């Protein structure tokens, strides 16, 4: 592999990992708050649509990014209201949001812009310049990428070091203990869903900025990959970030394979399936570990307390 190909692969890995990491770090808040952020996929999609629509209308990249984050937060607010205030199943509520997102985007796009297909948004275009080295591949990313990196760092610090993050984690670790300490678990779960939605919406906005358009279905499973990254990373910010880099590398590798000659077509198709295959494998492994943990807890309980 040539130096240019390595540089392109490095740049593509970072570019692919950043939106997944933003969504995953947002989803980490709901996971540790004792909820489940299944609506990451839908929040990414509505974030992409809002960024394209509002950014183009206002001729502003910053306005588009802000609109994307807000749209993602609003969708998550619906999920939180259903799951926490109305006591609906959070998994079903999240799935409903994922179904609602593409339908709502299509309906609004048809009503306002007269199209259900691609919605161009040249005002938010942030294409990266070609890279000649791995170092430059990092420096040549567009402003949307750096916004995601900043968001990932902020989310990681907030989750691990802030009072808010501590209270979110306390809400998931024990409701009775949290209430005894004056913490309202439901309030912090609501807040966690809003953080999760905003981060995912920002990820979607960055995707729209990268292609200067909203494309139906452009979330392309990234929300589900982000959800798995939360658990594959052990529900720890550093582990989640590493899992996202792994998935970003697999996505970048599949994109690189698409550019190879026709003789490598079959290999390219296999590589394209790898991120989603890895997602399925990771989810199965996590469920197996969860069952083992429950089995171990039950076994210890049956044999009395551990000294």
**Model pLDDT for residues 231-249, shown as the tens digit of each residue:** 889 889 999 999 999 999 9
Q: Which residue in the block uniquely carries the two structure tokens 């658990």?
A: 231
Q: Would the pLDDT of 72 be above 90?
A: yes
Nearest to 256 by CA among 243, 245, 242, 270: 270
- Which one is predicted more confidently, 275 or 297? 275
Residue ranges per domain, the chain? 3-125+132-220
Rounded distance between C-alpha atoms, residue 292 and residue 286, angstroms = 10
Contacts of 130 (CB under 8 A, 6+ apart): 140
Q: Would the pLDDT of 259 be above 80?
A: no
Q: At residue 235, what are phi and psi to the nearest 5 degrees?
A: 55, 35
In this predicted structure, which of 19-28, 90-99, 119-128, 293-302 has the lowest mean pLDDT?
A: 293-302
Binned at pLDDT 50, 70 and 90, residue 132 comes out as very low
Please provide the average confidence, as pLDDT, over all residues in the chain: 83
- For the entire predicted model, the pTM comes to 0.84
Q: What percent of the chain has pLDDT over 90?
A: 49
Q: Where are the alpha helices (DSSP H) in 233-264?
A: 237-258
Rounded distance between C-alpha atoms, residue 117 and residue 129, angstroms = 28
**Model pLDDT for residues 133-180, shown as the tens digit of each residue:** 455 556 667 888 889 999 999 999 999 999 999 999 998 888 888 888
Q: At residue 214, what are phi and psi to the nearest 5 degrees?
A: -100, 130
Residue 120 in 3-state DSSP?
strand
Q: Rounded to whole angstroms, what are the CA distances from 227 to 110, 175, 186, 292?
A: 30, 23, 21, 20
- DSSP secondary structure letter of residue 130: P
Q: At residue 273, what are phi and psi to the nearest 5 degrees?
A: -85, -15
Per-residue confidence (pLDDT) for residue 71, from 0 to 100:
97
């Amino acid at each position: 592999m040539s130096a240019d190909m390595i540089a392109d692969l490095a740049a593509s890995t970072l570019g692919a990992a950043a939106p997944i990491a933003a969504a995953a770090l947002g989803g980490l808040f709901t996971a540790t708050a004792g909820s489940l952020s299944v609506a990451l996929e839908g929040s990414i999609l509505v974030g992409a649509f809002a960024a394209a629509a509002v950014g183009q209308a206002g001729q502003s990249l910053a306005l588009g990014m802000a609109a994307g984050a807000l749209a993602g937060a609003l969708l998550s607010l619906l999920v939180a209201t259903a799951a926490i205030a109305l006591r609906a199943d959070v998994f079903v509520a999240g799935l409903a949001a994922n179904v609602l997102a593409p339908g709502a985007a299509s309906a609004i796009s048809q009503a306002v812009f007269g199209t259900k297909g691609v919605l161009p948004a040249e005002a938010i275009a942030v294409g990266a310049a070609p890279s000649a080295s791995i170092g430059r591949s990092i420096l040549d990313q567009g402003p949307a990428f750096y916004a995601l990196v900043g968001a990932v760092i902020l989310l990681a610090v907030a989750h691990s070091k802030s009072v808010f993050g501590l209270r979110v984690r306390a809400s998931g670790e024990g409701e009775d203990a949290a209430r005894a300490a004056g913490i309202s678990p439901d309030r912090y779960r609501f807040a966690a869903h809003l953080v999760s939605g905003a981060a995912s919406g920002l990820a979607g906005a960055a995707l729209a900025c990268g292609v200067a358009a909203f494309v139906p279905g452009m979330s392309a499973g990234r929300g589900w990959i982000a959800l798995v990254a939360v658990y594959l990373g052990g529900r720890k910010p550093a582990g989640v970030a590493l899992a996202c880099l792994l998935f970003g590398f697999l996505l970048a590798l599949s994109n690189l394979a698409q550019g190879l000659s026709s003789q490598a077509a079959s290999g390219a198709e296999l590589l394209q399936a790898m991120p989603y295959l890895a997602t399925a494998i990771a989810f199965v492994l996590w469920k197996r570990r969860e069952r083992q943990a429950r089995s171990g807890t039950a076994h210890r309980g049956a044999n009395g307390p551990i000294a």
